[in-house]
Structure 1
């Protein structure tokens, strides 16, 4: 890559670093892993920058972040299977019957509400959403991407983006109400 191309890459891609990290953070649910995913995504984007045909640099980069997350997730699952096949088999058996079952370390919605600020509550509920719903909600509401850009990032039709976003909003609102109702019961 020439110096001019490298400068064009920096000018096009670096403004989207925060959006890339935000998406990676919500997908991985781990700050250190998100940094690794973003670093890998930027390396891949740098290597493939000659193939970038224009359009939304943000959507192109976030699609790479999404693919890097999938690679990271698949690698992590393989490692977990190698180390503890029984524990992972239960985890991979499907989605939990209730999204609140995903809370860790014996935390209850009540303790989360008492301990965290409203922003932390939002993050916590976002983490409870299934990945496809969490992904579109983060891309639309936090990263403010258009439906078309989300479609490009996720590799799904715009109609699918719209239906996932609708389901994500309903699911988020339901979880918010359930958590809030649980907090009211504690008082």
Structure 2
């Protein structure tokens, strides 16, 4: 199981599959975009891929998975490992994808599930190491990758307003406005009905607008 802060077995370290030629090696992502060193350069499929080139289509979603990984993880290294783990799991479970047009949402849901399971697995050990105080917020905690990205892209005022939103609202807003996912894809990622996604987005936008109006009034004083 992948754990934040603990490098997983690199895709390039996977054993060769008997009978598969060296030409089956995937050296580049679609479009000529080279992967990070050691990330996908020797990724092989351990069983015949489904029709339609699942691996190639999954690799085409690497930019999305990297952005989403940085949003979820607290470090670039953890985010990259999360991308790798997601791709490996996706290859193992590709038969579960019933509709190829929903690949991005399916990958996003898988990546989120891996991350949440890893965080839940670390919590009991952190509580032992820290005397049961792992869940307490620390005033000097480093910002998450998502918060850093928002601060750079939107400025401190809007970033602070977004950070104050409930996590589910903020995630839905990010996936819709930044990643431009459909309501159906967001529902798949968040594991909830489409109606819940619409409700979260409406509430997030309303809350965000209210906070920004309040900030404008304070600035105008």
What stretches of structure 2 of length at least 5 have no aligned partner? 1-46
1:83–1:138 Cα change, 3 Å: same
Paired residue total: 167
1:77 Cα deviation from its structure 2 partner? 1.9
- The alignment status of 1:53 with 2:98, answered yes or no, reads yes
Stretch moving more, 60-69 or 21-30: 21-30
Whether the 8 Å contact between 2:55 and 2:91 is mirrored in structure 1 is: no
Would you say 1:37 and 2:82 are equivalent positions?
yes
TM-score, structure 2 normalization: 0.61
Higher relative contact order (CA 8 A, sep 6+): 1
CA gap of 1:67–1:18, structure 2 versus 1, over 3 A, is same
Greater helix share, structure number: 1
Computed over aligned residues only, the root mean square deviation of the Cα atoms, in angstroms, reads: 3.4
**Which one of 54, 61, 74 corresponds to residue 9 of structure 1?**
54
* Residue among 153, 166, 177 paired with 1:130: 166
Name the SS for the 1:156 alignment partner: coil
Whether the aligned pair in 2 keeps the contact of 1:21 and 1:35 (CA below 8 Å) is: yes
The residue number in structure 2 matching 1:164 is 200
Provide the rounded CA distance (Å) in 2 between the counterparts of 1:49 and 1:106: 36
Q: How many Å apart are 1:170 and its aligned residue? A: 2.7
Checking the alignment, whether the CA contact within 8 Å between 1:27 and 1:69 is kept in structure 2 is yes
Structure number with greater Rg is 2
**1:139 alignment counterpart:** 175
Match of 1:154 in 2: 190
C-alpha distance in structure 2 between counterparts of 1:18 and 1:24, whole Å: 10
Deviates more, 1:48-57 or 1:150-159: 48-57
Displacement after TM superposition at 1:169 (Å):
2.0
Q: 1:22 to 1:160 in 2, by over 3 A?
A: same
Which residue is 2:128 aligned to?
82
Distance in 1 of aligned mates of 2:142 and 2:184:
40
Residue 27 of structure 1 contacts residue 131 of structure 1 at CA under 8 Å; is this kept in 2?
no
Describe the SS at the equivalent of 1:165: helix
Q: TM-score, normalised by structure 1?
A: 0.71
